[in-house]
Amino acid sequence: MGSNLGEPEKNLMHALARLEEAPGLRIAARSKVYVTEPQEVRDQPWFANQVVAVLCDPGVEPLDLLETCLGIETDMGRVRDHALRGPGDGTPNKKTDERFGPRIIDLDPLLFGDLQIREPGLTLPHPRMRGRAFVLLPLLEIAPELVFPDGETLAEALSRLLFTCSNNIIRQG
């Protein structure tokens, strides 16, 4: 989860509450909130980021989780122009600056167990997560033993990144 408009930490708390209320979902763990330097578009406010582990009831599929996340974003005022998305494989398109710009809330499914999915609008594991310290550090906090579907550990993924983290402030770049 990420936010850098309005009151980012309150936005995260609101989104977390909405996830907790969603049918078929249960919050299993949540990281602390990290303040993080913007990545692709640097000239914008810093983000508040948090990773949440969600347990899904039987019958809840990855696309159901995605739709719940998108619904929460919309309800919180996020306008997501699907025309700005790349081909679904993490490849940015011409409108990358708009896509990675400021936002009230961003809820992205990162993993769904060991599933590997590549569909229009949903790629799991998230295609850019291993390049982002603001995702991997909070994920390490709540799931230190996590291994990606291809066998790579979180520690191995983090070892390839150049970043600093001090007092929950992450700088990368």
Beta-ladder partners of 172: 163
Token pair 């011409």: residue: 94
Domain that holds residue 97: 2-128
Distance between CA atoms of 111 and 124, rounded to whole angstroms? 6
pLDDT tens-digit profile of 15-28?
A: 999 999 999 999 99
Residue 12 lies in a domain: yes
Question: What's the pLDDT score for residue 141?
Answer: 97
Write the CATH number for 36: 3.30.70.560
pLDDT band at 108 (very low <50, low <70, confident <90, very high): very high
Residue 100 lies in a domain: yes
- Whole-structure pTM value: 0.87
Q: Span 105-132, mean pLDDT?
A: 95
pLDDT tens-digit profile of 26-53?
A: 999 999 999 999 988 888 999 999 999 9
Residue 66 lies in a domain: yes
In contact, 34 and 43? CB cutoff 8 Å: no
Report how many domains make up the chain. 1
Residue 122 lies in a domain: yes
Question: What's the pLDDT score for residue 83?
Answer: 46
Residue 152 lies in a domain: no
The set of catalytic residues is 78, 103, 106, 108
In contact, 84 and 99? CB cutoff 8 Å: yes
Q: Span 136-156, mean pLDDT?
A: 96
DSSP 127-165: TTGGG-HHHHHHHHHH-TT-B-TTS-BHHHHHHT--EEE
Residue 25 lies in a domain: yes
Residue 117 lies in a domain: yes
Task: Inform me whether the pLDDT recorded for 146 exceeds 60.
Answer: yes
Residue 150 lies in a domain: no
H helix count then E strand count, the chain = 5, 9
